[in-house]
Amino acid sequence: MKSTALKFSKLFSALLFVVFFSASCSKSDNSSGGYPKNVTILYKLIPSAGYTTGDIGYLNETGSTTFLTSQPLSFTKQITRTVNKNDAASLHVSAT
């Protein structure tokens, strides 16, 4: 029972990995405020104690996923991208 609780605790700690994500929109080239819009997206990871590297995936400038392995943490990446209505930004991390 104790071993299962310890495994769950470690998994839960990994899931609680601190991730800060923010996106800010620049002024649209379209005076009507419609889409598509040019936006700046800031991906920022700040690790909790004990995590030094991680595998990271994020949506890049073209909307494709970029995968990086064994990256040092903290991690910061800023991109500029054209988005359509209901597009999403995505960031995935697996701390090691």
pLDDT in tens, 3-53: 443 343 343 344 333 333 334 445 545 454 689 999 999 999 998 888 999
State the amino acid at position 31 in one-letter form. S
**Which residues share a beta bridge with 58?**
66, 91
State the amino acid at position 11 in one-letter form. L
Q: Return the SS3 of 22.
A: strand
Q: Is 16 in contact with 8 (CB distance < 8 Å)?
A: no
* Residue that is written with structure tokens 């392995």 in the block: 69
Specify the number of domains making up the chain. Answer: 1
Q: Would strands 37-45 and 53-59 be described as parallel, antiparallel, or unpaired?
A: unpaired
Global pTM exceeds 0.75 = no
Q: Return the SS3 of 11.
A: helix
Q: Which domain holds residue 41?
A: 2-95
